[in-house]
Structure 1
Amino acid sequence: MSSDSVVLPTGGPIVVGFGGAAVDFLATVSAFPRPDDKIRSTGLKVEGGGNVGNALTSAARLGLKPRIISKVANDFQGRAVLKELEEDGVDTTFFVVSKEGSSPFSYIIVDSQTKTRTCIFTAGYPPLIPEDLSRGSLLSALDGASVVYFDARMHETALFIAREAFSMNIPILVDSERPREGLDELLTMTDYLVCSQRFPQAWTMETSIPRALVSILLRLPKLKFVIVTLGENGCIMLEKCVDAENPQIAEIDVDNSFESLSRKKDDSIVMPTCIASSLAKFRGEGVGTVCGRLYVGTAERIPPSEVIDTTGAGDAFVGAVMYSICNNFSPEKMLPFASCVAAANCKALGARSGLPYRRDPCLASFLE
């Protein structure tokens, strides 16, 4: 993409992201190969990837001013990563560029039949360590930030940055795919959590996702909400509220509430929607209670012929959540908005080609 085709954000809120930025080599195939098969690709694309690189690109196209902290080598791939981010309006001033080594990259096989993708990641070398970042540079990166985002990788450096952001009272957003080393400490400083379908039960050992969400909010007193992305089944969110001592608020079983909200979904509606509970004390048997609201978000119903590649859909969703936090969207607006951004990204090959700009007609009803 050439820089003259991009409208760069000029006055939007500043967000900072730390984590992976890489190159993706995407090959589409008619069907995923069996062991020892030799097959031909039906398409090939090379573009930027990595969770934080993708999420900040999403945020930039929506109108935020992202700054990225990451590391590449001074090789062809690393220079391409920087150029692509800069052309999309992501500030790469705080990137660490190693004179030697290699930049991170992924091989991604996209199955055109099942609409699934398989990722094979190769980490860059040398890795980013806290000593790579001076405190002065870090303070400059965090200056004026509305949110700091982490993809929960490179835990030692993530914690180094998070502790500084925490001391500056900057809200922290974490995207977690699975339990990782150092994640528990990072989560104690976290204000907003977005996670994969597998994470809540893996982290809490609870028997259902709704019960796990209650457990997460009880374990992490600073957390304001947790969102679980469910792919084509939408998402679920539990938001903590502060009226826990009000005797007028009913106590209800969280699994029952989730089932009740899910039954209200209207599958005939194409665009994403959000169904919200009343304020309640959500109970998980043997877990405890959390005062808050439960939300069930639906995904956009995309015709199968229009689904090209789900790579980066979760990162697109996170970028939209960042935008929503910075612009004080209600959950009823945030969840459909983020789902709409994620759906747009599924209509093109790669993690970034389909990311919508704020002027995209599909976003008009949210950004008017």
Structure 2
Amino acid sequence: MADIDVVGLGVATLDILSLVDHFPSGEEIQRAEDMILQGGGPVATAIVALARLGARTAMLDAVGDDWRGDLIAAELEHEGVATRHLRRCAGCTSAMACVLVRKADGARTIVYLPGTTSELQAEDLPRHAIESARAIHVNGRHAAACRQACQWARQAGVLVSFDGGAGRYRPEMRGLVPLADVCIVAREFAERYTMESDLTAAAARLVSDGPRLVVITDGLRGSWVYPAGRPGFHQPAYPLPQTVDTTGCGDAYHGAFLFALLQHMRPEAAAAFASAAAALNARRLGGRAGLPSRAEVEAFLAERGVNP
């Protein structure tokens, strides 16, 4: 798989997303403004974001041989993501989520059903695919396999990108951060990992664990970028006239930041590029419908006088 830029290792899901006037507070029937069926999952969506931008990508996961797994695989393939190492597990179901999106502000509430597949183990991984890629992108799912993949990547000089999402911190992830070259985490993850509420102190702790670039994201408040050995800086979020859905915006940021780094952009340019991609993704219902092309990101930034 020497033709692959980025290999993703994580969980691919199927999402049902409904645009609603309000979140139910009790038993009721409500007519949706819109409804779509779409693939999801943090790493999988970041990988699709990379593919939309022009990267050659592949996804590693275990999904069921059910209709949900069929749709998950078909959508990835439609986006140009290689699925030759996507394991299909006989007799198992694939993960699914129901997402209600509030029309007024794009806020979400999520109900999630895990699949019945077992986590991938180290022996399930295509080592050559990992070692021949330019980067791997992980978030700690398939824990044992994830650690091994990161170790192989580091030994082979492959860039390791780690996604620490909000609400996803677990103590065992402490072993992954030192293996990451690029560590992009939500503010809540950073605070729990470091036990620091001050972002500069939290970033310093994360950088001291080994990553050469740490980014702490905080939604509409933007992101704080800390290259090792250099002063950190703040990248504001780009507001849109109307936000439809914030699902997948963080994943779009991850994918776009990694894409920018692979294009040899400096951290300042990469942060602007990623923030633009995240903003553009909020234009449409669903975590992937609004994922932009490279030309769209560059046009968005040019309108704001930014040349990454």
Q: Same fold (TM over 0.5)?
A: yes
Query: Given residue 157 of structure 1, which amino acid in structure 2 is its aligned partner?
Result: A
User: Partners of 1:187 and 1:160 in 2: how far apart?
Assistant: 13
User: Partners of 2:270 and 2:150 in 1: how far apart?
Assistant: 25
For the 8 Å contact 2:46–2:254, the answer to whether it is kept is yes
For the 8 Å contact 1:217–1:240, the answer to whether it is kept is yes
User: Partners of 1:129 and 1:336 in 2: how far apart?
Assistant: 35
Is the aligned partner of 1:204 residue 2:194?
yes
Query: Given residue 30 of structure 1, which amino acid in structure 2 is its aligned partner?
Result: D
SS at match of 2:280: helix
Greater mean alpha carbon deviation, residues 208-217 or residues 343-352? 208-217
Give the drift of 1:128.
2.3
Partner of 2:72: 81
Is the aligned partner of 1:297 residue 2:246?
no
User: Partners of 1:27 and 1:107 in 2: how far apart?
Assistant: 8
For the 8 Å contact 2:261–2:267, the answer to whether it is kept is no
List 4+ stretches of structure 1 deviating above 4 A: 363-368
For the 8 Å contact 1:345–1:351, the answer to whether it is kept is yes
- Residues 21-44 of structure 1 show CA distances to partners (whole Å, capped at 9, x for unaligned) of 110000111011113344332221
Partner of 1:317: 253
SS at match of 2:136: strand
Matching residue within 152, 162, 178 for 2:150: 162
For the 8 Å contact 2:213–2:226, the answer to whether it is kept is yes
Report the TM-score, using the length of structure 2 for normalisation.
Answer: 0.92
- Residues 212-270 of structure 1 show CA distances to partners (whole Å, capped at 9, x for unaligned) of 1112112x1x31111111211111111112xxxxxxxxxxxxxxxxxxxxxxxxxxxxx
Gaps of 5+ in 1: 1-10, 242-291
Q: How does 1:353-368 map to 2 (within 5 A)?
A: 353-360=289-296, 362=299, 365=302
User: Partners of 1:131 and 1:342 in 2: how far apart?
Assistant: 32
| Count of equivalent residues | 301
Give the drift of 1:12.
8.1
Gaps of 5+ in 2: none
User: Partners of 1:181 and 1:156 in 2: how far apart?
Assistant: 14
Q: How does 1:1-368 map to 2 (within 5 A)?
A: 14-130=5-121, 133=124, 138-177=126-165, 178-218=168-208, 220=209, 222-241=210-229, 292-303=230-241, 306-360=242-296, 362=299, 365=302
Greater mean alpha carbon deviation, residues 182-191 or residues 31-40? 31-40
Identity %: 26
User: Partners of 2:33 and 2:307 in 1: how far apart?
Assistant: 37
Query: Given residue 55 of structure 2, which amino acid in structure 1 is its aligned partner?
Result: L
Residues 32 and 317 of structure 1: is their aligned pair in 2 closer, same or farther, counting only changes over 3 Å? same
Report the TM-score, using the length of structure 1 for normalisation.
Answer: 0.77
Greater mean alpha carbon deviation, residues 68-77 or residues 162-171? 162-171
For the 8 Å contact 1:300–1:339, the answer to whether it is kept is yes
